Amino acid sequence: MKQKKVALITGAGRGIGLGIAKALASEGSDIVIADIHEEQAVGPALEELRRLGAATLYCRADVSDRGAREKMLEAVRNRFGRLNILVNNAGVAPKVRADVLEATEESFEWVMKINLQGPYFLTQAVARWMIELKRNDPSFEACIVNISSISATVASPSRGEYCISKAGVSMATQLWAARLGEFGIPVYEIRPGIIRTDMTAAVQAKYDKLIAEGLLVQSRWGLPEDIGRAVAMLARGDLAYSTGQVIMVDGGFSVRRL
């Protein structure tokens, strides 16, 4: 019997990350959730994943903390002995939306450590492990998916540090795709648009108005399950010959119109 794939999704206690976890569980993967909350807070999410047939592991970890990353991967090794899918989803918005003329270095550093530096070095550690697994078993299947944002290319001067962090994630995708190609490990970027989550709740009225006025080709909010379906497609290997590519899940926001 073929072993089930094991997927690690950061920031998956809720929102987009949980949507991804549910999609992968529905596809038959076992699931590792990493988040910063107490395990009790994500208990309902873990139970939902188990009902979908997944064995689960919760790792309370801040991706910006090297020790926490190392401890998390050791827990995955001990529980499953392998890791087929890494989804770098964890991310934060600035605590205060500040004009780029007023933004602080402290906010910049905080956002960068969580959104860019942490995922970059988590990918490094996971990639080394995946290469080891691949060398021991050439049939071993693996992939890495980075969740960025339309903010990687769309300037929002009130949250410049967020935009720069997501642009960095986009380049990191290219770098890892180029480096891991020889090992048959594809790396992808999914670039969500306006997705209904806790992060966007504070600006719901703003985006409701923009969507109603025709901002998007598809006139609705995106949902976490929209991102989940895209990740599931990549994890299945449906785009196996497309490493390094950006998958837009933005309701047509990026379509240029007159």
pLDDT one-digit tens code per residue, 188-205:
999 999 999 887 888 899
> Identity (one letter) of the amino acid at 65?
D
DSSP state of 81: S
Q: Return the pLDDT at 81.
A: 98
Under 8 Å between Cβ of 159 and 110: no
In the annotation, is 188 catalytic?
A: no
* Joined tokens for residue 78: 């001990």
pLDDT score, position 42 = 96
Residue 1 has pLDDT above 80, yes or no: no
User: Which of 162, 188, 207, 241 is flagged as catalytic?
Assistant: 162
- At residue 144, the pLDDT reads 99
pLDDT, position 218: 98
Question: Would the pLDDT of 214 be above 90?
Answer: yes
| pLDDT score, position 176 | 98
The pLDDT tens digits for 11-39 are: 999 999 999 999 999 999 999 999 999 99
DSSP E strand boundaries for 105-206:
143-147, 187-192
Orientation of helix 224-236 relative to helix 15-26, angle to 10°: 40
CATH of 6-193+228-248, one of 3.40.50.1220, 3.40.50.720, 1.10.3210.10, 3.40.190.10: 3.40.50.720
Give, in order, the Cα–Cα distances in Å from 71 to each of 52, 60, 110, 195, 214: 27, 10, 21, 31, 46
* pLDDT, the chain, mean: 97
Pick from 52, 71, 119: nearest CA to 91: 119
Q: How do strand 85-88 and strand 143-147 relate by DSSP bridges? A: parallel
How much of the chain, in percent, has pLDDT values that exceed 90? 96
Q: What is the largest CA-CA distance in the chain?
A: 59
pTM over 0.75: yes
pLDDT of residue 36: 97
pLDDT at residue 68, as a whole number: 98
Q: What is the tens place of the pLDDT at every residue in 157-189?
A: 999 999 999 999 999 999 999 999 999 999 999
Q: Element (H or E) spanning 21, and its range?
A: helix 15-26
Query: What gap in Å lies between CA 236 and CA 240, rounded to an integer?
Result: 9
For residue range 113-157, list pLDDT tens digits in order: 999 999 999 999 999 999 999 999 999 999 999 999 999 999 999
